[in-house]
């Protein structure tokens, strides 16, 4: 079913064709008045021009009707020279070339050429020399040009449609890839946050066991591990609230080993240098412990940005800046030389799309794009309510 825009285009085209047919009909009427045309000619003249109102829908039929109308007018009044009806044939031939497939287009051209050739033969039989070969050549070139223009327009239209369809397919593919990246990142987040929760719970178990022993032997010292159990429990509840929206059934058992934190950035930078990426690391503000999920998200962001730099920018220079402030954490990873050509300028690459999804869990934002001949990834994560 055509959409609203297609319906508007169809109505506009129909009114345009009706206008063309009406204009040629008016021209034919003026010619009839100027040439004192008979009633018989006036009766058949609309057959030559009015079908043009349907020239896009049934172009070959319109051409046949126009030829029939002009033929009837010529038979009734052989001496008259009709401009508007012949223009209608020309327009109908263009329409056949522009709106039908190749075989029908060639058929239409052959019919018109045979029509004019037959008329030339008949005229010369009845009145030798009345139709020189030059006239036939002129009409053939004129009609051939109209037909060729119609074929060129058809090709342009087909190329534009193919380009439009390809653009739509690429857009759908890009959206699908981004959705897949988000889904993959959500599953990855679920596993990693499971690790965070499992680690917190395991600490609670150990601290509770220690408190139990102290209650028997040293009850005055049992308060400290109990407080730690409470802190770990509150943090676990906070992480669970974020986790509930993305957990999927069937996740494999995860390791209880602690996940990477921002404290591991120096080692990551060293590995990047060893891989050929000259990387600088700057820590601004006072580093402090953050919620495990925030630490993990920030670490993964820097890891993804440096990986993209190595993959797309080659052996260049990079700079990592981590800035702690009272209420948020700012991260900036910059390639100083060479744009990361493999990453879209809007930051919609699969890895970055996943990072954006990850940061959104903590109210964070991510931007990425070309910057001073290189590429920059910036992230801002609010720290209110995320401290450990």
- Model pLDDT, residue 199: 60
Q: Measure the CA–CA gap between 374 and 388, rounded to whole angstroms.
A: 36
Q: Measure the CA–CA gap between 89 and 79, rounded to whole angstroms.
A: 19
Highest mean predicted confidence (pLDDT) among 32-36, 230-234, 318-322: 318-322
- Model pLDDT, residue 130: 64
Question: Could you tell me the domains of the chain?
Answer: 4-131 (no CATH), 262-382 (3.30.565.10)
Tally the C-alpha atoms within 13 A of residue 361's C-alpha that lie toward its C-beta.
28
* Overall pTM > 0.75: no
- Model pLDDT, residue 361: 83
Report DSSP letters for 16-74, one per residue: HHHHHHHHHHHHHHHHHHHTT--HHHHHHHHHHHGGGGGTTTSHHHHHHHHHHHHHHHH
Could you report the per-residue pLDDT of 217-260, keeping only the tens digit for each? 777 787 777 877 777 777 777 666 665 555 444 444 444 445 67
Look at 228 and 159; give whichever has higher pLDDT.
159
Q: Measure the CA–CA gap between 84 and 74, rounded to whole angstroms.
A: 13
Q: Are 52 and 21 in contact (CB under 8 A)?
A: yes
Percent helix, strand, coil in the chain, to 5, is: 70, 10, 20
Could you report the per-residue pLDDT of 112-145, keeping only the tens digit for each? 888 888 877 776 777 776 667 777 788 889 889 9
Q: What percent of the chain has pLDDT over 90?
A: 21
The DSSP call for residue 253 is P
**Residue 100, both tokens:** 């039908």
Look at 323 and 236; give whichever has higher pLDDT.
323
Look at 352 and 111; give whichever has higher pLDDT.
111
């Amino acid at each position: 079913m055509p959409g609203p825009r297609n319906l508007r285009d169809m109505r506009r085209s129909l009114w345009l064709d009706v206008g063309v047919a009406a204009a040629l009909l008016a021209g034919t009427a003026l010619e009839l008045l100027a040439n004192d045309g008979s009633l018989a000619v006036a009766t058949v003249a609309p057959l030559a021009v009015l079908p043009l109102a349907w020239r896009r829908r049934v172009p070959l039929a319109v051409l046949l009707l126009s030829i029939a109308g002009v033929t009837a007018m010529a038979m009734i009044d052989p001496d008259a020279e009709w401009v508007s009806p012949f223009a209608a044939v020309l327009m109908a031939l263009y329409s056949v070339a522009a709106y039908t497939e190749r075989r029908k287009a060639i058929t239409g051209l052959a019919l018109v050429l045979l029509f004019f050739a037959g008329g030339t033969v008949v005229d010369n039989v009845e009145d030798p020399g009345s139709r020189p070969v030059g006239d036939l050549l002129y009409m053939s070139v004129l009609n051939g040009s109209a037909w060729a223009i119609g074929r060129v327009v058809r090709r342009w239209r087909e190329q534009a449609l193919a380009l439009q369809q390809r653009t739509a397919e690429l857009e759908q593919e890009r959206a699908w890839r981004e959705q897949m990246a988000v889904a993959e990142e959500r599953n990855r987040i679920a596993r990693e946050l499971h690790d965070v929760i499992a680690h917190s719970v395991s600490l609670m178990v150990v601290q509770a066991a220690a408190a139990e022993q102290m209650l028997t032997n040293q009850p005055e010292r049992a308060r400290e591990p109990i407080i730690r159990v409470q802190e770990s429990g509150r943090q676990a509840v906070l992480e669970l609230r974020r986790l509930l929206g993305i957990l999927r059934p069937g996740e494999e058992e995860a390791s209880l080993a602690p996940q990477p934190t921002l404290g591991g950035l120096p080692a990551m930078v060293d590995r990047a240098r060893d891989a050929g990426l000259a990387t600088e690391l700057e820590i601004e503000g006072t580093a402090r412990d953050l919620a495990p999920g925030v630490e993990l998200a920030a670490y993964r962001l820097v890891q993804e940005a440096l990986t993209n730099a190595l993959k797309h920018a080659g052996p260049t220079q990079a700079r990592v800046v981590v800035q702690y402030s009272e209420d948020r954490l700012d991260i900036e990873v910059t390639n100083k030389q060479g744009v990361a050509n493999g990453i879209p300028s809007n930051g919609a690459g699969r890895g970055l799309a996943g990072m954006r999804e990850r940061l959104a869990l903590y109210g964070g934002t991510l931007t990425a794009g070309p910057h001073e001949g290189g590429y920059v990834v910036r992230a801002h994560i609010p720290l209110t309510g995320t401290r450990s």
